Each structure stands twice: as C-alpha cells, then as structure tokens.
A and B are shown apart, each in its own frame.
Chain A
Amino acid sequence: MKTYNKEVLYGLYNDEHDMLKAIREARAQHLEIWDVFTPFPVHGLDNALGLTESRLHISGFIYGAIGAIFGFGFMTWVFTRDWPIIFGGKPYFSAPAFIPITFELTVLFASVGMVVTFYTICGMGPGILNPTLDDRITDDKFCIAFDTTNASEADEDKLRHFLNGSGAAEIDTKNI
C-alpha cells in the first residue's frame, strides 16, 4: 500500500450537484481543495475545480507519429536497402502496399503508448494499491477532501464548518 503521509479532512456528499455547488463555494472562499473523488465522471467537475485540460491526447499524437514513421521507414528500408525483392512486378518502393501496415502500427503505438502513459502519470498499475478515503466513494458518495497535515486548529474548524454548511452528509478525517 502506497502512502501520501497526509492528514485529510473530507466530506461525503450524496448527490453530485450538492458537491459541485460546494466546490464552487469553496473556491469562492479561497479554500484549497486537495482532491475530489467521485464514483463516475461527473460532468462539469473539471471546470468547477479549475482543472486544466489533459494533455494525454498530445502524447497520443506523438506515439502515433512515431509508429507511422517507424512502420513506413522500416518497410522502406527492408525493401529498398536491406533485401530488395520484386513481388508481382511491383517496384521495390511500392508505397501504397505499405499503407495498411503503417496505419495499423500508427494505431498500435498511439494506443499502447497512451495507455501506458495514462497509468504511469496516474500512479496506477497492476498490484499497485493507492490509499482511499472511504469504500463508498466507488459506489454512491461524492467526496471533497482537504489536506490538513499542517493546518492550524482554527483552519481545520473553518473547513469543518464549511463542509457542514455546504450539505456534506458525513465528515471525517483520515491519515493516508
């Protein structure tokens, strides 16, 4: 089990709209949210939290380009330099016949590369166990979490008060 060495104060909400409202409220009050956990991708959550757009698709483009260049380049090298053979009277460099494999390799590199990148940057993978705050977060609870590791008692009270006032059904702290 991995650990963040953090003390976390969190509130569980029963509905995603209550949670979204609370997030907007917290941001208006300049409270720093550590993370938000939801059972499914909630529409509008990125905007409410002010998350920047994921750049995963850029990496996908780069991997795909590598796959395309590698596939086309390799076949060209084999058939024009390494071992030229005439197949069915076609020229050595018969580009149209290279397209299907080039396409497949583009897709393969882009997909595999993006998936590996995704799991790496999210800190996930087979056998990895990240700490969770509550088992019901993957069921029907929506969680807003604050990092209170170095927070003063007054700050913590303020956060607790905020969670209470914004409709959190349950409030708790946990060391993770």
Chain B
Amino acid sequence: MSASVSPIRNPLVTGNKSYHDITEDICSPTERTPTPAWVLTFILAVAGLALYVFCVGWTIYVGIGSWNLNRTIGWGWDITNFVWWVGIGHAGTLISAILLLFRQKWRTGVNRAAEAMTIFAVMCAGQFPLIHMGRLWLGFFIFPYPNTRGPLWVNFNSPLLWDVFAITTYFTVSLLFWYTGLVPDFATVRDRAKGVRRRLYNFLSFGWTGSAKHWQRWESLSLILAGLATPLVLSVHTIVSFDFATSVIPGWHTTIFPPYFVAGAIFSGFAMVQTLMLITRKVLNLQDYITLEHIESMNKVILATGTIVGVAYLTELFIAWYSGYIYEQFAFYNRVLGPYYWSYIGMMSCNVLSPQIFWWRKLRRNVMVTFVMSIFVNIGMWFERFVIIATTLARDYLPSSWSYYTPTWVEIGLFIGTLGLFGTLFMLFTRLAPVVAIAEIKSILKDGGDQYVGPEVARKKAAETTEAH
C-alpha cells in the first residue's frame, strides 16, 4: 500500500522518523533529569503561585474591600481576568475537537499541549468568580443542592448560573477528553519505565494494553467526545457573553456578543498556544513534530479570528450610531474617547492592526515574529475584556455616580498569581506527560512524515517514473 504523494502538502513530521524515534523523542523529556532552564522556570512559576496564595488569603482575611471595586464599578480586574482565562481555555478543545471533525491532521502535533493549556486556563478562570464572592466558604450555594431552607433553589433563569453549569461541564469534558487521549501514551511511558516511575505510570495508564477492540472503542469515544465538545466550546463563551448581553447596560446589551466573544476566545486561545508551543518545542527539542507548518496554520487562524474580532468592533460602533439611541451612542463614544481611551487603543492596535502582518507568508513562518505577536494578542485580548467591563461601568446612567477605577496591589497580585498557578501546572505537565500525542503522531506518520509526503518526495518519485520510461 503506497500513500498518495501530494506535491503541495508539506510534511507534518520531519527528520525521517521511525515509530521508535517518535517514542524516544517524546518520552525522553519525562525521563531525564530536568534541565536548568526548566528548574528556573518552575521556581519562577511557584513563586507566582505563592503570590497567588498570599493574595487570596489577604482577600479572604481583609475582605473584598482590599480591592478597588466601588458602587459604580462592581466588576474590575477579577471578571476581566476570568473572561480572559476562559477565552484562552478555548483553543485546546477547538484544536482537538473541531479540527478532529474537520480531519485537520496538523492538530496532532499540538493538541495534547493545547488541551492541557485549556484545562489549566479554565482552572485559573474559575478562581475569579469564586474569590469575587467574598465569602468563599459559601461558594457551594451556586449549586442546586437539596437544602433545609425550603429547599430554596438557585435561579435557573440567570446567565450567571448558566455560567456555573457551562464552566463546570466544559472543565469536566475537557479533562475526560484529554485524559482518555493520554492513557495510551502513559502506557508507552509505563512500558519504558522502571521502579517507582513504573508504579506511577502503571496507575496512570489504567491498564491499557493496545488491544484492537480497545483502540476501536477509543477512536469511537474520541470522535463522539469531539462531536459533543464542538458545540460545547461554542456554548461556553456564548454563555459567558450572556453574562453581559442579557443585562440592560448600554454597551453590554448587544446581540453581537456571542459570536464576537467566541471569535475572540479562539483568537486569544491560539495566541496562548503559540506562546507556549514556541517555548516548549525549543526547550524539549520538538521542532520535528511542531514544525513551521503547524505554526503557520495557527497564525492563519489568528489572522482570521483577529479580523473577525476587528469587524465586530467596527460593527458595534456602527450599530451604536445607527440605533439612534443616545445612551448606546454615549457608551461607545465613551469607550473610544472616554477616560479609558488608552485601553481602547491597546485593544485595537494589538488585536486588529498587528495581526494583519500575517498576510505575509514570510512573517507567518517566522518564529520570533510569531512569538512577539502572540504576546501582543494576549495583551490585546486582556484589554478587550477590560474595555468591555470597566469603561462601560465607569460611565453609567447617572453622572453623579460616575467613577474611575484602578486596581490595588491585591488585584494585580491575583492576576500575576494565576499566571504562576498556570505556569506551575504546565511545567509539571511537561515533566509528567508526553507533550505531543505519541499514538496520534504515529498514526499520521505515513501520511505526514517527510520520508513519505511533500514536494521533495513527489519530485523524487516523478524523476523515478521518467527514468523508468
């Protein structure tokens, strides 16, 4: 059986790899002693985590008064960070689910790390609504559990409660999807390990044997989970946008929010995947698996979603003017030229203007440019949420209650702290689990390996046929 050779499709695995090389390359980072770079990054991340623990402790001890929220601006950095992290948590499931359904084989190089990123980002996101409650120990009130007060139930008509269900479901499903994908790869690590590590991976690999029937069920399960996760991922950010869109605040009460939030989430998620993968592939020597091909594909997604987001910003402005409704017009006038004009500039330049450089193929395939751009997009998307939340609240219906908001050190510490939490989890993940899906890479080797496909191979084959004639 010979694979058909496409001269236009570039290889997804380079370096003339055999199956054993793939196992060796991807398992070895979990087997050798950590490099100094890893240790240093890990220490930095744990320091961030410590800051996070301290700031949460402070918030609980002193109370929400340690933040600068006021009667007018009730949502500040906390909810901005929540939406930012949830958005980042969208790329993983998008890559693994939607790209699986679309049969995009390049996803195999990045899906594992992207899914891990999703799970950790959603964990970070979940922190903010919880500490925002103030009395964290009453957090379980958000669930409809049978209680002795009637029972008094939660309000199922409230978008904030929909959010609870959306985020918990999203987290659970992403975790199951990710772990089910990991099980065969844990088995690979297990079968190479000795001593304590063997015992650890015996536990983690759930007794995987690689039987044909198990693979068949595994593939069926992956496909159905992907099918379920696809509408799920779209629903989650839609529901997050409902937190705003179903309110009656001018600037929030818009029907464009669901698609605009979803596009923004994919945009920021891919940017974060780029940031992480560019470092990971370098540090763990995975350039043969996460190739320029992968980076270029993701940059195309960033360009497309960034432009969608840009169109949404302009549509909002147009509709505000076109509506003839003065409060709406004022809200958007204020968004662009009001006291927070600087965040609007930050958002527009990072999210809409700068990704346009990816129209050039050379820049899409440049690692350094991509890295800088991914940071820009991360910053821009944070600004977007800040623009939506703070500028809208700062100038409400009553001029007498207009206000301005700057965060306290506690709020800044919480944000930096979640970066530490995220970093710690991600660094542990790179030590414990194969960062690239081993089994899936092996399954595309003969359609995507550079010894089987690509312009080079096609040219060679063509030369052989002419010689034969």
| A-to-B contact residues, CB < 8 Å | 2, 17, 35-43, 45-46, 49, 51, 53-54, 56-57, 60, 64, 74-75, 78-79, 82-83, 85, 87-88, 90, 94, 97-98, 100-101, 103-105, 107-108, 110-112, 114-115, 118-119, 121-132, 135-140
Contact = CB atoms under 8 A, between A and B. Distances in A.
A107 B157 contact: no
B443 A41 contact: yes
B191 A2 contact: no
Given A103-B235, A104-B235, A139-B20, A41 B218 contact: yes
B207 A2 contact: yes
A82 B144 CA distance: 13
Contacts of B207: 2, 123-125, 128-130
A36 B212 contact: yes
A138 B443 CA distance: 13
Interface string B172-212: 11001100100110011011100000000011001111111
A13 to B, nearest CB: 12
Interface in B126-169: 144, 150-153, 155-159, 161-162, 165-166, 168-169
Given A101-B162, A138-B210, A139-B188, A127 B216 contact: no
For the complex of A and B, the 10 pairs showing the least CB-CB separation, nearest first, are A140-B19, A128-B207, A135-B191, A130-B207, A40-B439, A100-B162, A40-B442, A97-B157, A36-B212, A138-B188
Contacts of B439: 39-41
B23 interface: yes
A103 B236 CA distance: 11
Nearest to A143: B210
Contact of B153 (A78, A104, A108): A78
9 contacts: A39-B188, A41-B215, A45-B216, A79-B156, A103-B231, A104-B169, A107-B229, A126-B206, A137-B191
Contact of B440 (A40, A46, A90, A119): A40
B225 interface: yes
Given A39-B210, A85-B155, A107-B229, 5 more contacts: A60-B228, A108-B169, A111-B172, A125-B207, A139-B19
